[in-house]
Structure 1
């Protein structure tokens, strides 16, 4: 179990893990149920950083939180967001053109705009989080990576030789248990968790529909985009709800 978690940690973050966890060819598939746990771990690191920063100015604290968030993940999902934005605009509705643009390592204007907007939303949400709202720091990354687990369970992967192709072989029972644990953990946070679940579910459903319509399924880049979109949406929704109720 620990080996599978470490494999998930190695895939989704830039945190150092022992290289031997990847010796097994099925390490990737068995790591999928642990994706939400990696998200929760990222959230715990962010919560710890908030505690360490204490009463630093909110704008500076938000900038440092966002810097830590991007550093820990190695901008992996941001890269997928940028590629997806470029491909969606440049693909002009054509599946093969969209997939071809995603493989281009260059970042076009749509990708740059998508990165700026999502990072700006995250920064503003982090700067606006109430001190009692640190649950959002765990819910956002956890639900985003639970979305990846659900995506590989329910949606075709359109690149047979892609990095995520083996994740389709993940043990379904373990994935269902992991998702059930995520739902339970979110609901334990009260109305914050219920709202976060609803927002994450809505983003997942809308993006999945868009990917099925355009591509017939997911790619690694669209999974990265999904992660970033869920994180930003959950943060913004929780901050907005807290402001409305307070």
Structure 2
């Protein structure tokens, strides 16, 4: 199981792990159960950085925190967001055309706008968030990666040979236990904003899943990247508004 954790860590972040775990098909399938924990680890790193930047002017600290956030994930999810935005608009409702556009490595104007808007919203949320409010920084990445686990458990994967195809044999029981632990953790947080974060993440996931099923009959890796970014920004925004 630890190889599964390393595979999840290596795929979802740019934290170095032994290269050989990516050649282990069993570790790849087991990695899905660890996605929530990797999100929590990412949030812990961001919270520690926020604490280290506590004496830096808020706007600069927020920019540095966002830079670290993007760097730790290698902008992988932002790439999926850009490709999905281009495909959803340029696909004109056609499944085959949507899938074709998502395979194009180039980003069109719609994709660029989507990335800019999401980064702007994240920056504004971080600038509005007291740097000592570490719970939000833990919650957003964790819930976003939990949404990925839920996506692979409930939504058909329609890209043959895609990056996510190795996750299709993931242990469902372990994945469900991980999701239940995340839900319980949200409920145990002081106040009610942990529950709010879980509810917002769930609503974004359900809307995303419906859109994917209607357009594609399932999902591919790019919409999964978009899901991650959308959940993160929605949870942060809800946390600030409810503050």
TM (normalized to structure 2)?
0.98
2:99 aligned with 1:99: yes
Distance in 2 (alpha carbons) for counterparts of 1:25 and 1:211: 27
Report if aligned partners of 2:6, 2:17 keep a CA contact under 8 Å in 1.
yes
Distance in 2 (alpha carbons) for counterparts of 1:94 and 1:3: 40
Local SS of the residue matching 1:202: helix
Distance in 1 (alpha carbons) for counterparts of 2:126 and 2:108: 27
- Show CA shifts across 1:82-115 (max 9, x none): 0000000000000000000000010000000000
Report if aligned partners of 2:81, 2:115 keep a CA contact under 8 Å in 1.
yes
Distance in 1 (alpha carbons) for counterparts of 2:156 and 2:23: 26
Report if aligned partners of 2:153, 2:172 keep a CA contact under 8 Å in 1.
yes
Distance in 2 (alpha carbons) for counterparts of 1:156 and 1:129: 37
How far the C-alpha of 1:133 sits from its partner, in A, is 2.5
The equivalent of 1:78 in structure 2 is 78
Q: How many residues align?
A: 242
Local SS of the residue matching 2:162: coil
Local SS of the residue matching 1:157: coil
2:176 aligned with 1:166: no
After superposition, the CA RMSD in angstroms is: 0.9
- Show CA shifts across 1:154-176 (max 9, x none): 00001121111121110000000
2:233 aligned with 1:239: no
The equivalent of 1:224 in structure 2 is 225
Local SS of the residue matching 1:130: coil
The runs of 5 or more residues in structure 1 that have no matched partner are none
The equivalent of 1:62 in structure 2 is 62
Change (3 A) 1:225 1:88: same
Deviates more, 1:156-165 or 1:225-234: 156-165
Local SS of the residue matching 1:169: coil
The equivalent of 1:51 in structure 2 is 51
Report if aligned partners of 2:157, 2:165 keep a CA contact under 8 Å in 1.
yes
Deviates more, 1:73-82 or 1:25-34: 25-34
How far the C-alpha of 1:2 sits from its partner, in A, is 2.0
The equivalent of 1:20 in structure 2 is 20
- Show CA shifts across 1:23-76 (max 9, x none): 322221110000010000000000000111122111011000000000000000
Distance in 2 (alpha carbons) for counterparts of 1:165 and 1:61: 38
The equivalent of 1:116 in structure 2 is 116
Local SS of the residue matching 1:142: helix
Structure 1 moving runs of 4+ over 3 Å: none
The equivalent of 1:210 in structure 2 is 211
Local SS of the residue matching 1:26: helix
Distance in 1 (alpha carbons) for counterparts of 2:161 and 2:7: 20
How far the C-alpha of 1:132 sits from its partner, in A, is 4.6
The runs of 5 or more residues in structure 2 that have no matched partner are none
5 Å-filtered alignment, 1:108-187, equals 108-187=108-187
The equivalent of 1:34 in structure 2 is 34
Deviates more, 1:66-75 or 1:1-10: 1-10
